[in-house]
Chains A and B, each alone.
Chain A
């Protein structure tokens, strides 16, 4: 049971490049989400999904796309990287609302630098 995995751990991009951050979980969780962590601001929700085929925007969705074709995978796409997207990105998963103890399980994070 690997929990939540993310790849890559580190990435450097040039402005305008695109890339996909991968996230997978093996706990059969319906809910998955992406956060970004910036100094002094905690973690902010980018996009989330309540099940395969269903995604929605969080607090800071601009510049990012997501899709959820399977329960296990929830990739985050940066379409045209900007320096403002330099951050640490976390993927998380959990049971749906009202089930379990409410906690979310986090991946190890991806540190992204855009130059």
Chain B
């Protein structure tokens, strides 16, 4: 079974600075998706960024980018120019390309200081 590990329960960043959230996963599959979801205090789960395992190029979405290291099974999220609105819980998640279930990490709380 696949597992996802987020080793940082909490992180803090100064506004306008850059922060990196870590995620590692375990799988024997070669084709899968990886996601970062953001959960603000409103509780809504918001997709931040996705990565398809067969794509070597790291995904980027505006200030959000990932460092996908397939051999190391690592999928970190970098947030540049951090904003107060980035403060939230962030979840890393795995989905097999030919399965339907999402497997989540325990989450990282990100605090942004002004």
Q: Which residues of A contact B (CB under 8 A)?
A: 31, 33, 35, 40-45, 48, 50, 58, 88, 90, 92, 94, 96-98, 101-104, 106, 108-109, 111
Contacts and interface: CB of A to CB of B under 8 A. Distances in A.
Contacts of A33: 100-102
B22 to A, nearest CB: 15
Interface stretch (B12-20, B45-53, B68-76, B77-85): B45-53
Interface of B: 4, 6, 9, 33, 35, 37, 42-45, 47, 50, 52, 91, 95-102, 104-107
Nearest to A111: B43
Contacts of A108: 42-44
B43 A103 contact: no
B44 A43 contact: no
A109 B43 contact: yes
Given A101-B50, A102-B52, A45 B101 contact: yes
Contacts, number: 65
Given A31-B100, A42-B105, A92-B102, A106 B44 contact: yes
Nearest to A104: B102
Contact of B101 (A42, A58, A88, A111): A58
Contact of B44 (A50, A58, A103, A109): A109
Contacts of B91: 42-43
A54 to B, nearest CB: 11
A102 B95 contact: yes
Nearest to B99: A97
Contacts of B106: 40-42
B104 A102 contact: no
